[in-house]
Structure 1
Amino acid sequence: MRDLLLIFALALGAALVVGAAGALLLRRLRRASITVHLYVLLATTVLAVVGGVVVVAEEMFLSRHDLEVVLITVAAAAAVSVAIGGHSGRRLAAAAVWADQARQRERQLEKGRRDLVAWVSHDLRTPLAGLRAMAEALEDGVVHDPETVGDYHRRIRVETDRMTRLVDDLFELSRINAGALRLSLTAVPLGEVVSDALASTAPLAAARGIRLVAAESGWPTVVASEPELARVVGNLLLNAVRYTPEDGTVRIEAGRERDAAWLAVTDTCGGIPTADLPRLFDVAFRGEPARTPGQAGGGGSASGGLGLAIVHGLVEAHGGRVDVANIGGGCRFVVRLTAAAPA
């Protein structure tokens, strides 16, 4: 019995020495990656067993040959234990990190949905209240003169168009997020799409005294779905016009780099806060000033903060990329798509 207690004490002492060294090493490596921590922990556990076996074997007065056999056996078991434990531990650590990232993404998506509902509700409440007031005034005969009646009818139509655009944006965004977007890819002349978008944006730009400048040549042909590409270009132009001060300039140009084509929309909005740049394509994000109706020119609040999110989703659906950066006095959006092969 005394021999067994002695063996236990010797093995425990050796294991404690190794465990203390491992704990000290883990403390020094507390800023290291989880993989490093995992391997240090495994090595400490295995070396504690090896240390106990070696100390006990020495005290048992084994022959040199027998001691070598014991050490080789323990070393082989230790190597297998570290290898299998490390592989399994890395998989478990990766799964834990992935699960944590998934939870974070889920929380971000849930927050985005709540913000979207809140902001869309806000954007619908104002025009609906105005429509109701004007409809009641017309119904009750509060206004009689033809000029005022005509103005009410015009404003009702304008507010209806704004809400229609908002609903269309919501539907488009839901298709993108649900993966229900089906693209019919063809060779699309980018110059023609830009020309149509400029014609649609010109009235708003003219009303605010904003100059629309387009390159006269260099328009490549891209592989895209024409309706969705038209929406991308139109949203970028409309966003630039809305947030460019009066008498500003919005420039659109394009070019080709090897197998890729690029389209750039540059404005003189004064720049975007650096903290807002990473979130600019998030659903319903418009920056603090833009949340108040009338801050963005041309009734920017009707967009619901969905225009750039739709641009991002449609460009990614095409296998492309959209980036934004501040330049002198404004910002520049650059869309990159696959260029069509020359005819």
Structure 2
Amino acid sequence: MGATVMTPLAIAEIIAVSLVCSLLVGGAGLLLARLTRTWSLRWHIVLLVAIAIGGAYAGILAIAALMFVSEHDLLVETVVSSTSAVTAFAIAVIAGDLISKWSTVIRGQVKDLQLDDSASPSQPDGPREFRDLATELAITKERLALARQRELHLEESRRELVSWVSHDLRTPLAGLLAMTEALQDGLADDPARFHAMMRDEVHRMTALVDDLFELSRIHAGVLKISPRTLSLEDLVSDAIAAARSVATKHGVTVDGHVDAGLEVTADSAGISRALSNLIMNAVRHTPAHGSVYVTGTSSGGSVELQVMDQCGGLTQHEMSRVFDLGWQGTNSRATGEQVGSTAGAGLGLAIVKGIVEAHQGEVLVANRPEDEGCSFSIVMPAESGAVC
């Protein structure tokens, strides 16, 4: 038998019938999708496959009827098309169920973001997009857990700060009140000495308020930095000279050495204050007859200021908290008498950290096992691009 040659008109007719069938089934499917838009994603996937299958199935049957094929051939086409359609529909149901399960895993990970659960989230074994999304959610959960820890940490530091500042303000205020009443009642045997003590207490409270104001500027990111070239040797010698009288009074020697010719671009007042706070902290924690030593060195494009004391060392917990706002160590030797303005409130090292980080540097602390002391280091670029 010779092959039947289809004319262009017949081909166009077949295409038109197929297109009409697909449009009718597609339009009905879109209407149904609109009505079931709140249903599960599983059923939307099944509906999408059903629309594709239905359009092809309707087109095949319409073309078969149009071509006046025999009843036998029509039955064969119907059985084959129906079997393929049912199989494809079943596969669509299974695929929709799998995607629904994968999305349920993702939804569970999203819910876990609200919990303080440290357990590893389950990972879907589906398509790459689902796995990537699950990985990003796991990373986000870790970041949120760290943020919660930082928030709790900061809240604890704030409570400690309020406690210490309240104590440091209440004590001198009570002393001032007692001395004022003694002077008023004529009970002071040496008024000049009382006036001097009152002046010292006022200066200490003023210094504490200044420190609080400095910390508020650091935390608000508005710390004023005016960098200029400074001699590291002059910086260290001035800080040592300022601390030496206090150190001598408490039986602690302070000395240091700086490599010749070292310079740093930094804010003079800020870095001087940071170094002075470190030296005062070292004096405060070094026992009588101990020593504090300050060094200045360079490495590559950075300079390092190191303050070494004989405090007896710090535990890992203490080293992790030593720069926290309001935190106090347990081995301070200056119990009844303060050494430096920030000795009692736990502000000194927090201010050091803020100033140094504003200069794009970092503050490090480590134990020195050879003499059971600590080493605090300021490491910053020689030419600091300060952050205000």
Scaled by the length of structure 2, the TM-score of the pair is 0.64
Greater RCO structure (CA 8 Å; 6+ sep): 1
Residue pairs, 1:255-274, within 5 angstroms: 255-274=297-316
Partner of 2:46: none
Return the match for 2:353 from 305, 312, 319. Answer: 312
SS of match in other structure, 1:215? strand
Write the distance in 2 (CA, Å) between the matches of 1:272 and 1:325. Answer: 8
Q: How far off is 1:217 after superposition?
A: 4.4
SS of match in other structure, 2:125? helix
CA contact (8 A) 1:166 1:303 kept: no
> What are the ranges of 5 or more consecutive residues in structure 2 without an aligned counterpart?
1-82, 102-117
SS of match in other structure, 1:42? coil
Structure 1 residues 89 and 123: CA distance shift in structure 2, 3 A? same
> What are the ranges of 5 or more consecutive residues in structure 1 without an aligned counterpart?
20-30, 44-81
Residue 223 of structure 1 pairs with residue 280 of structure 2? no
AA of the residue aligned to 2:355? L
Partner of 1:336: 379
AA of the residue aligned to 2:288? E
Partner of 1:152: 194
Q: How far off is 1:134 after superposition?
A: 0.6
Residue pairs, 1:26-175, within 5 angstroms: 34=121, 37-38=122-123, 41-43=124-126, 82-143=127-188, 145=189, 148-175=190-217
| Bigger Cα displacement from structure 2, 102-111 vs 182-191 | 102-111
Partner of 1:253: 295
Residue pairs, 1:200-239, within 5 angstroms: 200-215=242-257, 217-218=259-260, 220-239=262-281
AA of the residue aligned to 2:234? E
Write the distance in 2 (CA, Å) between the matches of 1:219 and 1:294. Answer: 40
Q: How far off is 1:238 after superposition?
A: 0.8
Q: How far off is 1:237 after superposition?
A: 0.9
Residue 324 of structure 1 pairs with residue 369 of structure 2? no
CA contact (8 A) 1:270 1:331 kept: yes
Residue pairs, 1:184-203, within 5 angstroms: 184-203=226-245
1:45-80 CA distances to partner (integer Å, 9 max, x unpaired)?
xxxxxxxxxxxxxxxxxxxxxxxxxxxxxxxxxxxx
SS of match in other structure, 1:334? strand
Identity of aligned residues (%): 41
Write the distance in 2 (CA, Å) between the matches of 1:169 and 1:303. Answer: 12
Write the distance in 1 (CA, Å) between the matches of 2:334 and 2:231. Answer: 36
CA contact (8 A) 1:188 1:223 kept: yes
CA contact (8 A) 2:306 2:376 kept: yes
| Bigger Cα displacement from structure 2, 216-225 vs 169-178 | 216-225
Structure 1 residues 115 and 181: CA distance shift in structure 2, 3 A? same
CA contact (8 A) 1:256 1:262 kept: yes
Write the distance in 1 (CA, Å) between the matches of 2:239 and 2:344. Answer: 17
Partner of 2:317: 275
Q: How far off is 1:103 after superposition?
A: 2.6
Structure 1 residues 158 and 32: CA distance shift in structure 2, 3 A? closer
1:60-110 CA distances to partner (integer Å, 9 max, x unpaired)?
xxxxxxxxxxxxxxxxxxxxxx11111222223333333333233222222
Structure 1 residues 243 and 218: CA distance shift in structure 2, 3 A? same
AA of the residue aligned to 2:180? A
Write the distance in 1 (CA, Å) between the matches of 2:341 and 2:328. Answer: 10
Write the distance in 2 (CA, Å) between the matches of 1:134 and 1:93. Answer: 62
Partner of 2:65: none
Write the distance in 2 (CA, Å) between the matches of 1:274 and 1:88. Answer: 37
CA contact (8 A) 1:188 1:224 kept: yes
Write the distance in 2 (CA, Å) between the matches of 1:299 and 1:311. Answer: 14
1:129-179 CA distances to partner (integer Å, 9 max, x unpaired)?
111101110111112x4xx22221121122112111211111111111111
CA contact (8 A) 1:293 1:300 kept: no
The list of structure 1 runs, each at least 4 consecutive aligned residues, that deviate by more than 6 angstroms after superposition, is: none
AA of the residue aligned to 1:85? F
Write the distance in 1 (CA, Å) between the matches of 2:225 and 2:197. Answer: 36
Q: CA RMSD in A?
A: 2.9
Write the distance in 2 (CA, Å) between the matches of 1:97 and 1:274. Answer: 23
Write the distance in 1 (CA, Å) between the matches of 2:231 and 2:318. Answer: 33
SS of match in other structure, 2:246? helix
Structure 1 residues 135 and 199: CA distance shift in structure 2, 3 A? same
SS of match in other structure, 1:305? coil
Counting matched residue pairs gives 275
